Amino acid sequence: MKAIVQDTYGTSEVMQFRDVGMPTPKPGEVLIQVRASAIDAGVWHLMTGLPYMIRPALGLRRPRNPIRGTDVAGVVEAVGADVTEFKPGDEVFGTCWAAFAEYVTTKPAKLTRKPENLTYEQAAAIPVSATTALNALRDKGEVQPGQRVLVIGAGGGVGSYAVQLAKMFGADVTGLCSTSKMDFVRSLGADEVLDYTKDDFTRDEFDLILDIAGNRPLNHVRKALSARGTLVIVGGENGGKILGGTQWMLKAPLLSLFTSHRVRGVISLANKKDLEVLRDLAEAGKIVPAIDRVHPLSEVPQAVAYAQAGKAKGKIAITV
Ligand SMILES: NC(=O)c1ccc[n+]([C@@H]2O[C@H](COP(=O)([O-])OP(=O)(O)OC[C@H]3O[C@@H](n4cnc5c(N)ncnc54)[C@H](OP(=O)(O)O)[C@@H]3O)[C@@H](O)[C@H]2O)c1
């Protein structure tokens, strides 16, 4: 089968489009014919092997698994022994470890039925980013109707779902993004959009802030929180090559001890239960994947470079 393979860590040039062996499903696994995948920030973390703290799990000098791609939508090709939940021909979406390929295996617990009203590309744009936004808002942020919510990084993959989900939960939503993404964030349903190159969001006050961009000191972001407000740290790329921002996640519970604010970090892993919630929301038209562009499998390197440059409005999908 064709796949995008990397033999070493590095920039998108390390990714090569070439032939590899077909995976076979082990007991308890599902073999999927991949129809679409998507890019998320995790793809380029795994591609570069940065921050270094992820390397012990991935391979110290080179990736043990040479194929990237976490989001998947496709058709079940075969099932291993003990799998009763899915059968060949089922249309599914979810997560796996090597979706930039024509076939991939994964566990049934990471899959569910694909939303009927979405294309494979739209469905593949949901799992990682939308689950993260859902976990940040519902589980860590405990968002309530009528609350004022600020989404920092509203124009990206996670942010595009955070804006839509916060509106769905009944919040009053402000999105913070660069000038070129303001119209896009407005189109997602944000009540207000601030341009971080001109506007000072700390002049305002929010009950809940999702910091997806993570580019500012936590004490600066907290200036915009109401007295008993909640800051949820989702991500950011300014944390250095060793820890990559995880230090803010670790600091979060400590900060909460010394202030009236609740500060929480999110580590989101897509799971069947949340995928079902998101599928139902998609089928009800409550969330719509925002796709900036679609690339064929052979163009994954270009797609990753575009995403890494921070240019994408919402998600980039890969068609297989
Ligand atoms: N904790 C978890 O479980 C989890 C899960 C998924 C992702 N993440 C992390 O979340 C982060 C975002 O992921 P993503 O997939 O959404 O990436 P993305 O699609 O690249 O989006 C990031 C967004 O941040 C915006 N941004 C950059 N600098 C900013 C600033 N100073 N202020 C406001 N916005 C700024 C970028 O656009 P503009 O600058 O043009 O507005 C971009 O739209 C990454 O660090 C990722 O590793 C964490």
**Secondary structure of residue 29 in the 3-state scheme:** coil
Q: How many angstroms is it from 153 CA to the middle of ligand 1?
A: 5
Count Cβ atoms below 10 Å from residue 26 Cβ, excluding itself: 12
The mean pLDDT of 314-320, rounded to a whole number, is 98
Judged against a pLDDT cut of 90, whether residue 258 lies above it is answered with no
The reply to whether ligand 1 has any atom less than 6 angstroms from the CB of 139 is: no
Q: Is the pLDDT of residue 244 over 80?
A: no
Q: Which atom of ligand 1 is nearest to the CA of 176?
A: 33
Stated length of the chain: 320
pLDDT > 90 fraction of the chain, expressed in percent and rounded: 86
Q: Please choose from 134, 139, 177 the residue to mutate so as to test ligand 1's pocket, defined by most ligand atoms within 8 A of CB.
A: 177
Q: How confident is the model at residue 163 (pLDDT cuts 50, 70, 90)?
A: very high
Q: 155 CB under 6 A from ligand 1?
A: yes
Give residue 66 CA to ligand 1 midpoint distance, Å: 25
Chain center to CA of 5 = 21
Residue with the nearest Cα to atom 34 of ligand 1?
Answer: 153
Domains of the chain: 2-126+289-319 (3.90.180.10), 129-265 (3.40.50.720)
The mean pLDDT of 70-91, rounded to a whole number, is: 98
Which numbered atom of ligand 1 lies nearest the CA of 132?
5
Q: Tens digit of pLDDT for each residue in 260-315?
A: 999 999 999 889 999 999 999 999 999 999 999 999 999 999 999 999 998 899 99
pLDDT in tens, 110-151: 999 999 999 999 999 999 999 999 999 999 999 999 999 999
Check pocket membership of 267 for ligand 1, CB cut-off 6 A: yes
- The answer to whether residue 250 scores a pLDDT higher than 80 is no
For residues 229 and 261, is the Cβ–Cβ distance under 8 A? yes
- Cα of 20 from ligand 1 centre, angstroms: 32
CA 51 vs CA 7, 10, 156, 244, 270: distances in Å:
18, 12, 20, 5, 21
Burial of 187 (0-12, 13-18, 19+ CB in 10 A): middle
Atom of ligand 1 nearest to the CA of 40: 15
- Among protein residues, the one with the nearest Cα to ligand 1's atom 18 is 156
Residues near 187 by beta carbon (within 8 Å), at least 6 away in sequence: none
DSSP string, 187-224: HTT-SEEEETTT--GGGS-EEEEEESS--S-HHHHHTT
Nearest CA to ligand 1 atom 38: 178
Look up residue 271 and give its two tokens: 């799971």
pLDDT of residue 238: 77
Q: Ligand 1 in contact with 112 (CB < 6 A)?
A: no
CB 133 near ligand 1, within 6 Å: no
For residue 270, what pLDDT is reported?
85
Identify the residue whose C-alpha is closest to ligand 1 atom 9: 235
For the stretch 37-57, pLDDT in tens is 999 999 989 999 988 888 898
pLDDT of 215 reads: 84
* Residue 221 pLDDT > 90: yes
Residue 165: which pLDDT band, with cuts at 50, 70 and 90? very high
Q: What percent of the chain has pLDDT over 70?
A: 100
pLDDT exceeds 80 at position 249: no
pLDDT-derived band of residue 256, with 50, 70 and 90 as boundaries? confident
Does 163 contact ligand 1 (Cβ within 6 A)? no
What is the Cα–Cα distance from 111 to 95, expressed in whole angstroms?
7
DSSP 240-287: TTTTTTHHHHHHHHHHHHHSSSEEEE------HHHHHHHHHHHHTTS-
Q: At what angle do helices 41-48 and 300-308 cross, to 10 degrees?
A: 100
DSSP state letter for 115: P
> What gap in Å lies between CA 308 and CA 133, rounded to an integer?
19
Q: Is the minimum distance from the CB of 46 to ligand 1 under 6 angstroms?
A: no
* CA-proximal residue: ligand 1, atom 13 (nearest): 41
Return the bridge partners of 152, or none: 176, 211
DSSP string, 154-186: TTSHHHHHHHHHHHHTT-EEEEEE-GGGHHHHH
CA of 94 to the centre of ligand 1 (A): 21
Arithmetic mean of pLDDT, 182-201: 98
Q: Which of 65-69, 249-253, 275-279 has the lowest mean pLDDT?
A: 249-253
CA 59, CA 25: separation in Å to the nearest integer? 23
Mean pLDDT of the chain: 95
- CA-nearest of 154, 180, 189 to 285 is 189
Q: Could you tell me the distance, in angstroms and rounded to a whole number, from the CA of residue 267 to the centre of ligand 1? A: 14
